[in-house]
Structure 1
C-alpha cells in the first residue's frame, strides 16, 4: 500500500504541464506580515478567481497578456484593487491588507474568533474555498477530521447522518460549538447533534477550530476546545448555484442556491434548499434530509442587520448500536468486523424504528459602528425542536411500562413486540449583547449572555401485544419537563505593549440553573444551581516577521448533564435521583452527587510563516478534576453511561505544517502525540473497589497523523489525503490492563479500536472556461481508496465500522 501511495503522490507532482496562457500568483498578508488564509482574489473580466491557502498564497491561471484590475477582499479588511499588466508567463502580485470595519463582517472576526500573531490561542482556520472544495454530503465533523488532534466517526459508516467529533479525545459534549456566535450545544445534554445540520456547510463562509480550555468567552464550557462556524454567503452580485450528486449506497443529493445580489444598494437576500438521501453503509442506516437556509442582510453606512432561518426536516432509521466483534455463526466463532457482510449488520432491525425530527433556528444579528473605535453587537436567537424516535421495547415488562394494578391496570402478562415512542419538545432562546472598544494599543470587549431552555419529554407505547384493556392511545409511562437558565457576563482585554508583544486577559462569570419538574408518577421536583468564575491570561510575542510564540493559562468549569442528576426516563426501572439520601430515606435535593468538572490548561506554542513553508508546534498540559468519563456501557438510547473521575491528566504535543514546492502543489500535514491517564479513579461496578490509576482513558488515542497533497492547475484539482489514528480503548480498564489473565480467556473480545490508516482521493475539473459560467465543476471523491476494513469508534464491546471503498460523483454549476 505504501508503494501505491508514493506512486500516486509522485503522479500528482508530475502533472504540471506547460501552457501558452499566463499565470498570476502571489501572497497576501496583513500589515504585520501575518499570512491571511481564505482571501478572495478576483480578476475583473475573468470568471475564475482564487482564495489564498494556508501559506497565504494564491494562483490564477489561463490569463491573457493584457492589463487587468485585481480585486482582493477578506473578512475584516479593507478591499484592495490593483491594476496589473500581465506581460510574462507568470506575474507576481503580493498585497498587504489593512484592517477595516466592513459592513456585516465584524460578526466574523469578533467575540470568540482568534487572530494570528495576536491571540495566544491554538487554532486552525478552514476557509470558504476549502469548505466548498471538500463538502458534498458528509457531516461537518468529517470535514474537520484532518485538523490536528481531531477524530470523527459516523453511526451509519458513510459519514451521512449521525456523525461525531472529538478534540484531543474530548467528545463534543465538552466542545463549545457556535454558529454565527449562537451556542449550539444542547443545554440539558451538552451534545451537538450535527445530524440537524446536514447541509449547513453549503452556506458556510468560514470555520475556526480552537483547541484547549476556555477558548470561548461565553456559551457552553469549552474543555477540549471550540468550533465557530459563520454562514455569511451573501454576494453583491446575483448568483444561481445548482448542485447534484450520486454515489455508493444509493447516496444522492440535489441542491439549489439563489442570491439576489445588492438590492437598492442596501439589501442582499440568500436562499438554499437541498435534499439528501442515502441507504447508509450499515444495513438499514437510511436517512432522508430536507435542508433549508434563508437569510437576508441590510446594510447602512454604520450598521448591518442580518437574519437567518435554517434547519432540516429529518427522517432516518436508528443505528446507534455498534457491531459486536466476536460472533458465533453456524457454531463457529468469527470476527464479524473482518467479514464484509457481517460488519454491516445493524442490531436495530425493525422497519418502524425510526427518528423524525425538525429543529428550525431563527437568528437576528445586528452590528452598529458607533464610531471608528466602538462597535456594539446584539444577537437574538430562538430554536424550536420537535420530534421523536420509535424503538423496539420488547425487553420492557409491566413494571417498566407501569402497567400495574397500582396504576389502575388489569393484571396481564408482559407486553410483547412493543414499539415505543420517545418524544422531545425543545425551546431555546436568548440574547447575546456585546460592545468592543479599541484604541491604538488596546482592545476591550465586554458582553452578556442570557439564555433560557425548556423541554418536555415523554414516552408511550405505540403498539404492543397483550396490553391491558385500560391502555388508551395517549397513555404515557413517563413524562417530565426540564428547564435551564444561563446568565453570564464576560470581559476580555488585549494590551499591545509593543509591535511585538500582546497581552490578553479574559474573565467570565456564569450562573447556570437546572430544573426538573412536572414529573408524572414519581413527582420529583428539584433545582440545581452552579456559579463559575473562568479566567484566562496569555501572551503572544512576534519574534520576527515570520516567527511568533504564545503562552496561555486558563481555568474553566462545566456542570454535569441533567441526566447525571436524574435519568427520569428510566424512573420505572427503579432509577433514583443522584442526590444524598438521608438516614430516613429522604432525598436531599440540595446535595447532588455528580460534581462539576474543573480544568486547568497550560498551552505553549510557536508558529513560523514563510513564503512557501508554514510550521507550528503546540504543547499542552491539562490538569482535570472530576472529569466525567465514559464507563464503557450504553443506556437504552445508545448514549454512553458516565461518571466522575477524581483526577485525570492530559498532556501532549501538536505539530502542523504546510509546504508549497511549486505553485500548483501544496502539502499539508499534522501529527498529534498525547498521553491521557487517570491519576485518581476508583470504580465500584462489582461492589469491590478497583483502582484505575494509571490507565489510559477510553476514547483518547495517543497518536494521530494526517497528510494531504493537493495539485491544482488550469481548473484541474487532485487531492490525496492520508489519515492515521492510533489505538482507542473502549472502556477505562485499558483492555483489562490490571487483569491480564482476563485477556487469556477463551472468546475474550479486546476492548479497543485497533489503529487504522484511511486514504481518500478527490479529483475535480472546472469546465467554466468552456461554458461561460462562473463555475461548472465535476468532482469525484473516492473514500477508503485501498478498501480497508477498519473501525473508527467503539463503546465497550460494540464497534462502529467505516465503509469500505465508496465513491461520490458531484457537479456544481454557478451562473
Structure 2
C-alpha cells in the first residue's frame, strides 16, 4: 500500500537514568540479566531503580526463556502483581491482552528501548503483531501506577518497559521449537556473530508461531523477525534494530453467550457465521485479520566524561492491514449501496455482505536525554517528538444477490488521523544522606490531534456517513514527587504523581457533538516497604489512584447509535499489593503475591434504551465497581532446580468481576483458579552442542472451566405498558487442561 514516509526527527531529550543495577522490585526474580550496565545496553530514562519511589517488578531473561513456548508476552508476565490476562482464541496465542490493577491495554504505556509501542490513536498494543518478541527481549520492568515519566500514551494503570537483547560478545546459534494442544507450534532460529574486530556484532532471529486455537476456527499464523547491528567502543554504543511481524488470525472476538455454548458447545465461535441458501448454518472461510508491522530503531549511547551520559534515538514504525468480515442483514444504504428489487418483486434494503476494513499507519520520531550522575545527584533532562499519520478506509467486497452496479472494492468510508506529540521532562534524585533520597519528576506534554474524512458510522440524520472534523490540542503538566529510604535490607518509599491522558480515537469517532470527550486526570498516591534478605523477602505497597473525568461506558449511545464512553467526575482504585519470597536452599524457592483492592465509580448512572436504540431511561446505581476490576488477585509459585532439572508449579486466582459498570449479575465473570505445571531438563556439552533443553508444560492442570473476558449489553421493551429490562452477555472461554512440549538447541 502506498505511503508518504515522514522524516524521522531527532530533537532534544528522552532517555537514560539508572544507578548501577540494583535488583529493583519489591520481589526480584533474581535473574543475573537484571544487572545491566552502560557497557552492555543503552539505559532508558523510564527505568526505575531501588532508589526510585515507585512500585515495580523486574522480569529477567532467564524467567522469560523458561516459560517461552510461543505464548504472547502478556502470558509471560501474568505471574507479576495485579496482572490479569485473556486470550480471544483461548490458548494464549493470537489476540491476547492484559490488565494491570484493572486498567486495560489502552491505559498501559508500553515501550521497547524507551520507544513507544502503543498505537497513538487507539493507545492499544496489539501483541499479535509482534509474535515471539520474548525471544529477543533481555528483560522487562513493570511499573504499577503512574510510574516515571514516559514517552507516548499516558500510564493510567501501569507501564511495561522492555529492553531488547544486548549484543553478544560470543558467537552463537540457537534453534528452538514447541508443539502442543490445538496444533499450537513455534519454531525459532537465533544467530549471532559475536564481537568482530572488537567493535562490531550482528544478531538475528526468525520465528513462526501457529495455532488452531481452542475456540473453533480461531487459528493464527504468525511470523516475526529481529535483526541488530551494533558498534561498541569505550565511550560509545550504537545499535540499529529492526523487528516486526506478520499475522493472519481468524476472528474470535465476538465471543459466545452461555445459551449458545449450551447449544453448540463451549468452543463455539459466532464470528463469520451466516445462513446459506439451503437454510443451513455456514461459516465464511476468510474471516481473517491480516496485518504487518515493522519497527526500526537507531540507538546511540555515549559517555561524556565521568558524570554525563547522552542517549539519542531515532525510530520509525510502519504497519498496514485489514480484516475481512462477513456481516448479515446489513442496511445497504450504510455502505453506499442503493436498495434493489429482488426476484420476488420486493424492495430489498438489507442484505448479507462482505466488508474489508483497512488501516495504514506511519509513526516516527526522535528522542534524546542527558543524564548527570555525580556525588549526591542523579538527574536527567530529556525531550521527545513524534509524528503519526493513520489512514482508515472500508471497502465492500461482495453483496448477496445484489442487483445493480458495484465498483470493485468500493469504499464506503475514508478518513485520516494525524497526531503530533512533544514531551519534555526533567527528573532528579538527590541523596540527602546515605539512606534517604528525594525524588522529583516534572513532565510537560503537548498533543495536537486531528481527524478528517468520513466515519464508518452512518448518520441517519443526514443520510450519509458521519463527518469527522476533529482538531484538538492538549497541554499536560505532570509532576511527580517522592521520598525513598534504603538501609541494609530495608527499603521504604512514599510518592505522589499526576498523570493525564487524552481521549482515544474511538472516543471521537463513536461520539457526537453532544458527547465531547475531555482528557482524564489521575492523582496517584503510593507508599511501600520491602525487606529484602538473601533467604526471605517481604514487600507491601499501598496505592490510592484518584481519577477525575475518567472515560467509562455508561450505556449511552451517540446519535449514530454507537456505545460511547463518558467522562465521570469521580472514580478511584485503592488497594494493597503484598509480595513474599522464600529461598531456604539453592534448589527450592517460593514466590507469592496478592492484590486486595476496591475499584469504584461514585454515583454511577446507567443508560438503557428501548430495543437498544431509542427512548433511553436512566437508573441511579450509586457507587459501583469499575468493569473488569476484580477485588482479589493472587499468584503463587513453587520452583525447584537440581542438577539440570527444574520444575515450577504456578497458580493464579482472579476474583469475580463485572463486564459493565452497573454491577448487573448478568454481566458477572465468576472467579477462577488456574494452575500450570512446568517441567524441564538441561543437558550440557553434548557432542558439540553447548546446551540442549527439553520441557513440558501442563496448562490448567486441574481443568478449570472459566471465562476471562467478555462483553455485556442491555435494553428494554414495553410489555403491557411496563418497561421490561433485558440483558445479554458474551464470554471468552479459556482452554481446559492442555499440554505443550519444547526443545531448544544452543551451539
Same fold (TM over 0.5): yes
CA contact (8 A) 1:678 1:692 kept: no
Alignment RMSD: 2.4
1:420 aligned to 346, 350, 355, which one? Answer: 355
Q: Structure 2: how far apart are the matches of 1:448 and 1:754?
A: 45
Match of 2:9 in 1: none
Residue 34 of structure 1: CA displacement?
5.9
| Cα distance, 1:703–1:640 mapped onto 2, change above 3 Å | farther
Aligned position for 1:240? 173
Contact 1:215 1:225 survives alignment (8 Å): no
Find out whether 1:598 has 2:521 as its counterpart. Answer: yes
**C-alpha displacement of 1:476:** 0.5
Question: 1:384 maps to which residue?
Answer: 318
From the superposition, tell whether residues 312 and 631 of structure 1 become closer, same or farther in structure 2 (CA, over 3 Å).
Answer: farther
Match of 2:390 among 455, 459, 468: 455
Q: 5 Å matches for 1:636-715?
A: 642-686=565-609, 687-715=616-644
SS at match of 1:690: strand
Counterpart CA distance in 2 for 1:158 and 1:395 is 32
Equivalent position of 2:740 in the other structure: 808
Residues in 2 aligned to 1:413 and 1:405: alpha-carbon distance in whole angstroms:
5
**C-alpha contact (below 8 Å) 2:376/2:431 kept by paired residues:** yes
Q: Deviations over 1:484-524 (max 9, x none)?
A: 11011111011111110111101111111110124386654
Q: Which residue, 194, 202, 206 being the options, matches 2:139?
A: 206
Q: Would the aligned equivalents of 2:377 and 2:431 in 1 still touch at CA under 8 Å?
A: yes
Instruction: Name the structure 2 match of 1:508.
Output: 443
Distance 1:459 1:657, change over 3 A: same
Q: Distance in 1 between matches of 2:329 and 2:193?
A: 55
1:669-724, Cα deviation, whole Å (9 max, x unpaired): 10100000111332333423322321111100000011000100111011100111
Matched, 1:493 2:428: yes
Structure-2 residue corresponding to 1:310: 243
Alignment match, 1:546:
489
Alpha-carbon distance between aligned partners in 1 of 2:556 and 2:267, rounded to the nearest angstrom: 21
5 Å-filtered alignment, 1:434-449, equals 434-449=369-384
Q: 2:670 aligns with which of 750, 754, 770?
A: 754
Residue 732 to residue 73, structure 1, CA distance change in 2 (3 Å):
closer
State the alpha-carbon separation in 2 of the partners of residues 397 and 793 from structure 1: 30
Number of the residue aligned with 1:536: 480
Distance 2:608 2:440 in 1: 43
User: 2:259 maps to which residue?
Assistant: 326
Higher relative contact order (CA 8 A, sep 6+): 2
Kept after mapping to 2: 8 A contact 1:412/1:468: no
Match of 1:364 in 2: 298
Change in 2 beyond 3 A, CA 1:195/1:633: farther
Q: Which residue of 2 aligns with 1:125?
A: 58
1:111 aligned residue (45, 48, 53): 45
1:11-52, CA deviations, whole angstroms, 9 ceiling, x for partnerless residues? Answer: xxxxxxxxxxxxxxxxxxx999965799xxxxxxxxxxxxxx
Q: Is the 8 A contact 2:535 2:583 kept in 1?
A: yes
Aligned to 2:481, the other structure's residue is in SS state strand
Asked if the contact 1:153–1:793 (Cα under 8 Å) also holds between the matched residues in 2, the reply is yes
Residue 73 of structure 1 and its aligned partner are, at CA, apart by 7.9
Give, in whole Å, the separation in 2 of the partners of 1:280 and 1:632. Answer: 32
Is the alpha carbon distance of 1:259 and 1:606 closer, same or farther for their aligned partners in structure 2, counting shifts above 3 Å? same
Residue 619 of structure 1 corresponds to which residue in structure 2? 542
Distance 1:476 1:33 in 2: 54
Long gaps (5+) in structure 2 = 1-17, 273-283, 341-345, 456-464, 610-615, 713-728
Q: How many pairs were matched up?
A: 680
**Where does 1:16-35 land on structure 2 (aligned, <5 Å)?**
none
Q: How far apart, in 2, do the equivalents of 1:174 and 1:634 lie?
A: 23
Does residue 794 in structure 1 map to residue 728 in structure 2? Answer: no
CA distance in 1, matches of 2:34, 2:497: 31
Contact 1:393 1:420 (8 Å CA) reproduced: yes
Correspondence for 2:152: 219
How much has 1:770 moved relative to structure 2? 4.2
Partner of 1:54: 28
Q: Tell me which moved more, 343-352 or 124-133.
A: 343-352
Secondary structure, counterpart of 1:564 in structure 2: helix
Q: Given the alignment of the two structures, is residue 517 of structure 1 paired with residue 452 of structure 2, yes or no?
A: yes
SS of corresponding position for 1:579: coil
Question: Of 478, 500, 506, which aligns to 1:557?
Answer: 500
Answering whether residue 456 of structure 2 is matched by residue 482 of structure 1, we say no
Where do 5+ consecutive residues of structure 1 fail to align? 1-29, 39-52, 59-71, 78-100, 328-334, 568-576, 581-591, 737-749
Deviates more, 1:460-469 or 1:283-292: 460-469
Quote the Cα distance in structure 2 between the aligned partners of 1:705 and 1:369. 43
Distance 2:682 2:24 in 1: 25
Where 1:145 maps in the other structure, the secondary structure is coil
Distance 1:32 1:475, change over 3 A: closer
Give how far 1:438 is off. Answer: 1.6
Report the more deviating stretch, 685-694 or 281-290.
685-694
Q: Give the corresponding residue for 2:721.
A: none
Q: Are residues 632 and 169 of structure 1, via their aligned partners in 2, closer, same or farther at CA, if it must alter by over 3 Å?
A: farther
1:466 partner SS = coil
Q: CA deviation at 1:751?
A: 1.4
Contact 1:656-1:669 within 8 A present in 2 as well:
yes
What does 1:757-768 correspond to in 2, within 5 Å?
Answer: 757-768=673-684
How far residue 322 of structure 1 moved from its aligned partner, in angstroms, is 1.4
List per-residue Cα deviations over 1:730-769 (Å, max 9, x = no partner). 1111125xxxxxxxxxxxxx31110110010000001124
C-alpha separation in 2, matches of 1:55 and 1:659:
11
Q: 1:93-149 deviations in whole A, cap 9, x for unaligned?
A: xxxxxxxx32x52x23x4011111x11010000001001111111111111111111
Query: Is structure 2 residue 513 aligned with structure 1 residue 579?
Result: yes
1:551-601 per-position Cα deviation (integer Å, ceiling 9, x unaligned): 00011110111221223xxxxxxxxx5225xxxxxxxxxxx7111111101
Shift of 1:220: 1.4
